[in-house]
């Protein structure tokens, strides 16, 4: 484990400075976190059981009516909602005299409201057009304001972070004071990509036209401070930093409720906003038969169309209660989360492969010296021992296997992603032509990353979460023996500009014996890799010399069910004939796997080609036969439907009521058996195939075949609590189609092509095979066939 690999004293070392905070946070309880390392708090933080329990008790005890009525239950709702508005303003150290709270469905809806109601002006003979200026390190929802103003003659101006201060200049405040053109500048209090905190002093600097771009343009400047990322772990004082507009989402602050956000609007700005559509509750008076409408005088009422989500708003009362009860306030949360992030940054950035190459490329403008400039976000990509980037989707998939929840991609912040990853505008367009779009898993194009990995912390995060994550990186991605860049670690330990959290973190890391970190460079590989008695997993380890042969063939007719072992089997256009051609879905037509339904592994399907039948067998159940193909027109119960497999939409055919009844009885829930439609074609995702003409897939996850090398499996680990698993059990758990007796463990990582018998394959990621050509889909594979490999 990393706590032993990187620093032997970390296991029993408390987390200094955060001990007082942990007294609050130790009360955070939620049963669903058992066994989970949750590191996506920038996506949404988690909610404690106490919050939900108290909210449930509240709505079970009180009757809350529509706040637009005037009966007792409605008055209770109205008064409670108004109290929550006050608590929100109090949280940001301001009052109803200064700001109004407009409830929205989230931060994005709040930004859209500003875009549609801001008093944009086209150019006139005497005054310039309004400008919409935004930091390039902004969320998509901010940049999207361009879409609203593009037809209004308004100027859009992207501003790089360096330009704000570098291009600032002194301006005579009386110059251009007569110009009333309104301009809007938007920037994030904290980058959702890197966690960089931008100076809150920019608010007054832009409003006073002392910073770029305001210093270059006459008119009235307003500031939208995007607090969605910042507000989750940091205190925001609007008395000191009085932005005109402040959007945020409550799920990022509390985890619950979701689908609720707010826009804080300075009252002296409110009169400028213009609104066209008016919904229920927003009018003081209007006529149905005449174009007559008078808006409500109250700012909140004017902009909250229809009935607000009042039960969710009432839940905020309990959210604030839980936050203060468990943590003691935002200042303590900031100290706690920054300390965890800094600790993880210091160790990850110093971690090296056995050959001295760094493990991680970290994307940050700072070295995490101070919580006033860096939030609880760590963004990075991992690299192999040759300095090549490891795709973020591979990190994500392995993390999921370890129950580590993190985030990958560009995080709806293309500007920051381009800046840190060196992606030009032309490359973005070229990547799109290559098939890469936002949110997909094409993580590398021509060896260059299209996104990155992000871990983020919340107030309920623990020191153990950091260790679990670092364990995962060291176990899965570090070429042994693990090394540490001692010079860099020493510099980071001394490079702190604040007392408190950073200083106490240094105390914990050094523990009076910093030289122990370097000792790992000279330790034996067996001791470095794990403390659990297993053997080291390195490419240098050798197995017994023997010829490469195909030792086992497995097909999995029904996705996630047991294997069917054969000695000879025909190859089809999609891989082994009938491999993963069927799957089980629940009553909502959602695909079941062994994570959702472990009893699937007890179902033993078998295929008999002479009779064209699929047999379903399980202990305590009668065996039933399902035809491999429906030769006649399918009845209504055998309907064609759409299902999702690994993010792909596939067309499937229902296999009838008999199979559905059998599966439902055995699994104890409504289920149906479906097969991929023979008329439907599904191809590999772009990025996996290279110079391959046959990439059609069945219901598999990634590729036509999954292989495993026995030499790699032989180097298996065991834990202190369990006996070592035998090789055959490990192979069964891997659920490979083809098992090969290789000469060396992990040699498959370097294979580019494989020939088994007379069938040619391309190898991707060391475990996936696809047909090299269409001719290879009309052959037969046999156990005992020779295997020839080609290196990449």
| Start-to-end CA span in the chain (Å) | 32
Q: Are 197 and 190 in contact, with CB atoms under 8 Å apart?
A: yes
CA distance 431 to 447: 12
Tokens of 120: 């944009």
User: 759-764 and 751-756: which strand pairing?
Assistant: antiparallel
CA distance 183 to 425: 27
User: 787-791 and 245-249: which strand pairing?
Assistant: unpaired
For residue 380, what are the contacts with CB-CB under 8 A and spacing of at least 6?
A: 348, 360, 361, 362, 363, 452, 453
Tell me the CA distances in angstroms from 239 to 89, 188, 205, 714, one per residue in order.
10, 18, 15, 64
Backbone angles phi, psi at 28, to 5 degrees: -70, 120
- Count Cβ neighbours within 10 Å for each residue of 41-64 and write b for 16 or more, e otherwise: bbbbbbbbebbbebbeebeeeeeb
CA distance 71 to 395: 56
Location of structure tokens 């920019």: 202
CA distance 157 to 134: 7
For residue 125, what are the contacts with CB-CB under 8 A and spacing of at least 6?
A: none
For residue 20, what are the contacts with CB-CB under 8 A and spacing of at least 6?
A: 332
The three-point CA angle 170-171-175 to 5° equals 170
CA distance 586 to 590: 5
Backbone angles phi, psi at 588, to 5 degrees: -95, 15
Nearest in space to 46 (alpha carbons), one of 305, 319, 310: 319
CA distance 182 to 220: 5
Nearest in space to 38 (alpha carbons), one of 404, 481, 555: 404
CA distance 282 to 290: 18
Tell me the CA distances in angstroms from 747 to 57, 707, 740, one per residue in order.
59, 12, 11
Nearest in space to 614 (alpha carbons), one of 601, 600, 629: 629
The verdict on whether 19 is a catalytic residue reads: no
SS3 574: coil
Nearest in space to 489 (alpha carbons), one of 451, 515, 453: 515
Q: Are 404 and 468 in contact, with CB atoms under 8 Å apart?
A: yes
* Rg of the Cα atoms in the chain: 30
Q: Are 770 and 705 in contact, with CB atoms under 8 Å apart?
A: yes
Location of structure tokens 């403390």: 531
DSSP tag of 75: H
CA distance 696 to 571: 13
Helices H / strands E in the chain, number of each: 24, 37
The three-point CA angle 341-373-347 to 5° equals 30
For residue 668, what are the contacts with CB-CB under 8 A and spacing of at least 6?
A: 599
CA distance 244 to 258: 25
SS3 502: helix
Task: Give the active site residue among 215, 412, 655, 671.
Answer: 412
User: What are the catalytic residues?
Assistant: 412
């Amino acid at each position: 484990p990393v706590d032993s690999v990187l620093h032997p004293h970390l296991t029993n070392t408390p987390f200094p400075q955060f001990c007082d905070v942990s007294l609050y946070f130790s009360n955070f309880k939620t049963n669903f976190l058992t066994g989970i390392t949750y590191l996506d708090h920038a996506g949404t933080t988690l909610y404690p059981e106490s919050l939900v329990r108290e909210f449930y008790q509240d709505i079970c005890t009180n009757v809350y009516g529509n706040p637009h009525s005037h009966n007792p239950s409605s008055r209770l709702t109205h008064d409670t909602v108004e109290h929550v508005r006050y608590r929100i303003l109090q949280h940001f150290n301001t009052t109803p005299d200064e700001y109004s709270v407009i409830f929205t469905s989230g931060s994005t809806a709040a930004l859209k409201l500003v875009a549609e109601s801001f008093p944009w002006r086209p150019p006139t003979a005497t005054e310039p057009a309004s400008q919409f200026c935004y930091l390039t390190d902004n969320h998509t929802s901010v940049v999207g304001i361009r879409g609203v103003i593009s037809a209004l003659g308004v100027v859009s101006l992207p501003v790089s972070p360096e330009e704000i201060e570098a291009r600032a200049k002194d301006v005579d405040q009386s110059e251009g004071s007569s110009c009333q053109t309104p301009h809007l500048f938007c920037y994030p209090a904290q980058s959702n990509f890197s966690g960089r905190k931008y100076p809150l002093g920019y608010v007054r600097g832009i409003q006073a036209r002392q910073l770029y771009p305001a210093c270059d343009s006459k008119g009235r400047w307003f500031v939208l401070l995007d607090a969605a990322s910042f507000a989750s772990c940091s205190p925001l004082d609007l008395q000191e930093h009085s932005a005109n507009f402040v959007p945020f989402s409550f799920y990022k602050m509390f985890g619950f409720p979701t689908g609720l956000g707010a826009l804080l609007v300075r009252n002296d700005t409110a009169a400028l906003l213009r609104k066209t559509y008016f919904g229920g509750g927003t009018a003081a008076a209007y006529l149905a038969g005449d174009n007559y409408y008078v808006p409500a005088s109250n700012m909140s009422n004017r902009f909250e169309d229809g009935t607000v989500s009042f039960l969710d708003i009432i839940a905020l009362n309990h959210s604030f209660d839980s936050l203060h009860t468990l943590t003691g306030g935002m200042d303590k949360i900031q100290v706690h989360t920054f300390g965890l992030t800094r600790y993880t940054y210091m160790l990850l950035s110093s971690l090296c492969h056995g050959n001295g190459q760094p493990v991680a490329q970290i994307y940050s403008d700072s070295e995490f010296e101070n919580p006033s400039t860096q939030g609880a976000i760590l963004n990075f990509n991992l690299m192999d021992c040759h300095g090549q980037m490891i795709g973020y989707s591979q990190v994500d998939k392995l993390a999921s296997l370890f129950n580590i929840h993190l985030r990958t991609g560009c995080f709806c912040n293309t500007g920051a992603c381009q800046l840190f990853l060196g992606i030009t505008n032309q490359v973005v367009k070229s990547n799109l032509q290559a098939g890469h779009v936002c949110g997909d898993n094409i993580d590398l194009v021509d060896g260059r990353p299209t996104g990155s990995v992000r871990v983020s912390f919340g107030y309920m995060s623990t020191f153990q979460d950091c260790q679990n994550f670092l364990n995962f990186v060291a176990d899965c991605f570090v070429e042994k023996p693990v090394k540490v860049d001692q010079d860099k670690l020493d510099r980071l330990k001394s490079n702190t500009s604040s007392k408190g959290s950073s200083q106490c973190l240094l105390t914990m890391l050094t523990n009076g014996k910093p030289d122990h970190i370097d000792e790992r460079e000279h330790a034996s590989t067996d001791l470095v890799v794990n403390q659990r008695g297993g053997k080291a997993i390195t490419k240098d380890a050798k197995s017994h010399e023997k010829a490469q042969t195909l030792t086992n063939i497995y097909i999995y007719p029904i996705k996630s069910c047991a294997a069917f072992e054969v000695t000879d089997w025909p190859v089809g256009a999609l891989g082994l004939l009938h491999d993963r051609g069927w799957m089980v879905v629940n009553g909502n037509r959602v695909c079941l796997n062994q994570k959702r339904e472990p009893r699937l592994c007890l179902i033993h399907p078998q295929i008999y080609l002479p009779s064209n039948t699929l047999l379903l067998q399980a202990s305590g159940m009668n065996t039933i036969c399902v035809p491999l193909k429906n030769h006649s027109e399918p009845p209504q119960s055998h309907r064609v439907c759409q299902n999702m497999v690994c993010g792909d939409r596939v067309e499937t055919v229902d296999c009838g009521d008999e199979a559905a009844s059998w599966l439902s009885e055995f699994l104890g829930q409504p289920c149906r058996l479906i097969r991929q439609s023979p008329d439907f074609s599904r191809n590999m995702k772009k990025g996996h195939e290279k110079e391959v003409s046959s990439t059609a897939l069945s219901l598999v996850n990634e590729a036509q075949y999954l292989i495993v090398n026995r030499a790699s499996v032989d180097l298996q680990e065991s834990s202190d609590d369990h006996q070592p698993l035998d090789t055959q059990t490990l192979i069964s758990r891997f659920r490979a189609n083809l098992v090969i007796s290789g000469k060396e463990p992990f040699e498959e990582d370097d294979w580019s092509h494989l020939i088994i018998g007379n069938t040619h394959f391309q190898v991707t990621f060391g475990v996936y095979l696809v047909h090299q050509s269409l001719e290879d889909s009309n052959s037969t594979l046999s156990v005992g066939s020779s295997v020839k490999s080609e290196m990449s």
